Structure 1
């Protein structure tokens, strides 16, 4: 225990960690503030924090790490630790956003629809991405972000997947590429929804259901639902949160599938499957936030903290991202997500017109 504590003390208490922590915290706060404005509201706080982190990579390299390689390694390790640990904490705290009582009463019809959407879109997007020669990890992260809830889903699924140490940098680059992809697609299709909804003859409730069922980020669904009235906003929110609930099942299923099909270990000893325990924390937070009155009244505060923590994780990813890798590998993932998002929009419109 003493050795363990000393090891973590050395990793956490350092000038490099302090620098990265301050930078990522300020980036996260800036992202939360920027989302109040019309253009940035479509992207959301997490995407803005990621972009700030990517931009700050240049002055950090020029002014702080350029003269000493040990500083480069320290900043990289600190950013990696923040991205890894805070994303799990943020996902757990995000559970307070899920009101299970609302979902299991008002959203009862939405849950089966959400389960079908997530399953079909995850499998379909992954298949499209692999057909386009996208790597398995980037393909599954893009599929999760497209089918469930954007950046939070990418980070949640990534947190449930374990890769060898020599692939850690590649994993971080894939996280950034997947997050950027679903941000672009979500924003694009939010604008498409606003343009085409008046032409389809949908009721206000149907407009909200389609928005919540087809768009990527919660911010996208809320923005489109709010553009068509209170009924549409309520329907979009319930439908979107129904999909968010599926993140738990999807993350666990993908973790088990990844371990079985993608992990290649030559050792004959029995392997330990890396179960994403933090997703159980997400469920516990949802239950506590819904049914414990003392916590229910403060649920919004916990969610605010969740977005600050997740924003720090996203900014840390931005600090470490390899721009060359994104330019080389990201294009095919964007195409796969666009095709899947198009099919998802058509499917949700047809199902909503038929059953809702």
Structure 2
């Protein structure tokens, strides 16, 4: 194939890909704008982009064009790129400066709640993949965790969307609950922020709740929450190894489930952003790009979701996750009371 033919081929592929690119980009940008409005900040950019992608399904011609032109590619590749860039949000130097107590608490909370969320979901007869997605979303860092482990789990779009929806609803609800508890807990502002960071699902939820206790609450909530975010990479790696073993047993020895190597990029980005002295503006730009790409991936998921599947299977995982969210709040209260 000559150079001109190759160039024409690439141009043709890009034109075919353009509808999916434009539609998901618009959903992500609009989701970001909506997340800045009062009341919608708790919902967050990523969940709003997902909802907008789901609304695209109402226009059949646009839905068909987007699905045919590459939403699967965006949901897969853009997701990985976004998670890698999201590593620049994680300041390892700040976490280490604040000491290991917060990280130890985060490891304890994530370990206990991962096991409990998964076990209770299975007790409620939720399938393995959805139970694991929901457990990671509630225990680590919300939608980003769901998306981060969806690859090694080989999750379907419907399962990922349902897990994200559960995390978003419960996270918003428990943010309001914790803000309401602030006057009666008799915590210092820093203690309350730590509890919020250890117990709430999304970064936005932790910041919103911690912010009700002033700047000290905000700072403590961010540090505690980022300590949990740091655990996304090792958890995704462990899940990849577990799924590889499950797959090997099911397929007679074939190791066909990939380990999420892009999580290595997440940790590398964290290290680069923490120790190479990059400007705050540049790091902010990279994080904004991360959320833009993740928003596009979420919109692509929304465009491909099967509403019938969600309607049939949503009650049991929501119930189990709600119970575990109550336990998580109580456990975070106990940890902060005794160790902070």
Establish whether TM, by shorter chain, passes 0.5.
yes
Residue 327 of structure 2 corresponds to 343
Q: Give the direction of change, closer, same or farther, for the CA distance of 1:12–1:107 in structure 2 (3 Å limit).
A: farther
1:38 aligns with 38
Change (3 A) 1:335 1:263: farther
Q: Which residue of structure 2 lines up, in the alignment, with residue 166 of structure 1?
A: none
2:149 corresponds, among 157, 166, 172, to 157
Q: Is 1:328 matched up with 2:326? A: no
State the Cα distance separating 1:266 from its structure 2 match: 3.2
- 1:190-229 pair list within 5 angstroms: 190-229=175-214
* Structure 1 residue aligned with 2:56: 56
Counterparts of 2:99 and 2:221, CA distance in 1: 11
1:86 and 2:78 equivalent?
yes
Moved more, 100-109 or 175-184: 100-109
Deviations along 1:235-290, one digit per CA (max 9) or x if unpaired, are 0000000000000111001111122235654345x525511110000011001111
Whether the 8 Å CA contact 2:18–2:69 is kept in 1: the answer is: no
Counterpart for residue 239 of structure 1 = 224
Decide whether aligned partners of structure 1 residues 147 and 26 sit closer, same or farther in structure 2, where only a CA change above 3 A counts. same
Q: Is the 8 A contact 1:288 1:296 kept in 2?
A: no
Corresponding residue for residue 114 of structure 2: 122
1:41 is paired with a residue of what secondary structure? coil
Quote the residue 2:255 is aligned against. 271
* Residues 159-218 of structure 1, C-alpha deviations (whole Å, 9 max, x = no match): 2334xxxxxxx6111000000000000000000001112111111111101100000000
**Within-5 A mapping of 1:281-292:** 281-292=265-276
Match of 2:28 in 1: 28
Between 217-226 and 198-207, report the one with greater CA deviation. 198-207
Secondary structure of 2:278's partner?
helix
Matched positions, count: 336
Change in CA separation of 1:85 and 1:232 when aligned onto 2, cut-off 3 Å: same
Contact 2:56/2:62 (<8 A) preserved: no
Query: Distance between the aligned counterparts of 1:109 and 1:344, measured in 2?
Result: 18
What stretches of structure 2 of length at least 5 have no aligned partner? none
TM-score (norm 2): 0.93
**In terms of mean alpha carbon deviation, does 297-306 or 125-134 score higher?**
297-306
Say which is worse superposed, 307-316 or 198-207, in terms of deviation.
198-207
2: CA distance, partners of 1:337 / 1:95: 27
TM-score (norm 1): 0.89
Q: Gapped runs of 5+ residues in structure 1?
A: 66-70, 163-169
Partner of 1:147: 139
Query: In the alignment, is residue 184 of structure 1 matched against residue 169 of structure 2?
Result: yes
